[in-house]
Each structure stands twice: as C-alpha cells, then as structure tokens.
Amino acid sequence: MRKPVIAGNWKMYKLLSEAVDTALALKPLVANANHYEVVIAPVFTALKTIADRLEGSNIHVAAQDCAAESKQGAHTGEVAADMVKDAGCSHVIVGHSERRQFYGDTDATVNHKTRSAIQAGLIAIVCVGESLSEREAGQAESIVQTQLIKGLDGLTVADTERIIIAYEPVWAIGTGKTATPEQAQEMHGVIRRTIAETHGADVANAMRILYGGSVKPENIAELMSQEDVDGALVGGASLDAESFAKIVNYR
Ligand code: PEP
C-alpha cells in the first residue's frame, strides 16, 4: 500500500509571523489525518521556526529546494541538503518547474540535488512535467520520461525509497487549469511504467506519484480516485490553512 501524500508548496509567500500563524492554524485541522503524509514547504527563513513549532505533530516540513553540492563550500546563496535537514526538515522539493523555468535547473542539476537530498537523509519530492507547447506538440510523454530517467539516474533501489515523484504539468500550475483526472492518470501510468523499466516493478509499485497543478478542495476527490494518483502537490490552495485542510481531509 502506498501512503498518500498531500504537500503544500508555499512558494515565496508569507513573512515568518504569517507562516507560523498558518502552520499553527493547520495543526489541529489535520491532526486526525494519519492515513496521509502531510507536508508543508515554507520559505527557507521560516523552516527552523516552523519545524520547532510543529514538533510532535503529524505535519512534516519541507524546503522548496536545496543545493546540488552536498559539501559545504563557497556557494553563495545556496543551502545544502544537510542544512535543510539540520533545520528540522524531513522533505525537500527538487526540480519544481519554476526552478527549471526561471532559475536554470536542468535534469542534471535535479539529479545532483536529488542525490544530495537522499545522502542527507531527506525525502526528495522530484517534480517533472511538460509545458503547454510541449503537450501541444505531442511531446508530453517523452519530456516527462526524459526528466524522470535523467533525474533519477544512478539512484539505487534503496535510494528510491527516499523519493516521491510529483507530476506537475506546467500549463496547470497557478493557472486555474487542472489536468483532467484522465490526463493525470495517463501520465501517472507512464511515470510508473518508466520507473518499472529503470528500477523494476517493485520500486514502481511502491513509488508515490503526486499530481500538482491547480489542485483545490473541489477537485481533489476526483484526482485521488485515479489508480496511480497517490497524492497532491498543492501551491495556491495550500496558503490558507482551511483550504489546505479541506484538501487533506477530502474524504
Ligand atoms: C505548485 O506550485 O507546485 C503548484 C502546483 O501550484 P498551484 O497549485 O497553485 O497550481
């Protein structure tokens, strides 16, 4: 059985006090959601405080990125995976489309970040997804497969236990356009089959594959009803504790 994951990506929103207020408001609202792995990803500067304030709760804290380099060094502006762990995080998002589009993350960078995260003892939420023009050109599957194969290159079977995949079609992120449940299922199926080819059927069957892209309380149930959808990575609708809690408690 794959334990579903509902993760909230807060992007570059919320000052520290606002982030703490939201996290504390969320805590009682999802306290009974033990059938799910609940994760929130605030900005770097809020991680330590939020992790401390949520200690003992069922909410996991994630960073939104980490450095590709695993060793400390002269990398101004970067935060290493073991520093993320040291701040109290258990998870880290890597390869989010905004990092790929605007900050130069390539499949190779994503691979290094993923390896660094695993080495630090974190769970990496590895994001993949095609753009609108790629989908319209009929390249969606091949783009996602390439991102996946390159992103997970060299990972052992044991490493894959520390991986969650998030399929986030770029055209659905922050646009209000959600992939239909059928579109999500189709690509999740492709992802699972690709992992079966690279790492074997057992790894593929155990892998959690999340959908991301305009997930809301209104559409979570439909998406989760799909066989290969094991959870969601939520942006906008995770910023408000009540709306995120409705997604977590959709059943
Ligand atoms: C995201 O940021 O990962 C995301 C899916 O955003 P949204 O839910 O706002 O589309």
Question: For the segment 19-65, what is each residue's pLDDT rounded down to a tens digit?
Answer: 999 999 999 999 999 999 999 999 999 999 999 999 999 999 999 99
Give the pLDDT score at 126.
Answer: 98
Residue located nearest, by CA, to atom 3 of ligand 1: 235
Residue 217 has pLDDT above 90, yes or no: yes
Give the pLDDT score at 43.
Answer: 98
Ligand 1 centroid to residue 10 C-alpha, Å: 9
Mean pLDDT of 173-198: 94
Query: pTM of the entire structure?
Result: 0.97
In 3-state terms the chain splits into helix, strand, coil percentages (rounded to 5) of 45, 15, 40
What's the pLDDT band for 174 if we cut at 50, 70, 90?
confident
Q: What is the largest CA-CA distance in the chain?
A: 48
CB 234 within 8 A of CB 247: yes
Please list the alpha-helical segments (H only) found in 59-200.
Answer: 81-86, 97-102, 107-119, 132-136, 140-151, 157-160, 181-199
CB 83 within 8 A of CB 53: no
Residue 176 has pLDDT above 90, yes or no: no
| φ and ψ at residue 97, rounded to 5 degrees | -60, -30
Within 6 A (CB) of ligand 1 lie 9, 11, 168, 173-174, 212-215, 233-237
Respond yes or no: is residue 168 known to be catalytic. Answer: yes
Residue 245 has pLDDT above 90, yes or no: yes
Average pLDDT value for the chain: 97
Quick one: what percent of the chain has pLDDT higher than 70?
Answer: 100
Ligand 1 centroid to residue 73 C-alpha, Å: 32
Give the pLDDT score at 248.
Answer: 98
Residue 30 buriedness (CB in 10 A; 0-12 / 13-18 / 19+): buried
Instruction: Map tokens 């989010």 to a residue.
Output: 96
Residue 177 has pLDDT above 90, yes or no: no
Give the pLDDT score at 89.
Answer: 98
Mean pLDDT of 60-82: 97
Residue 161 to residues 60, 122, 176, 206, Cα–Cα distance (Å)? 17, 11, 32, 8
Q: Which atom of ligand 1 is nearest to the CA of 234?
A: 8
CB 81 within 8 A of CB 119: yes
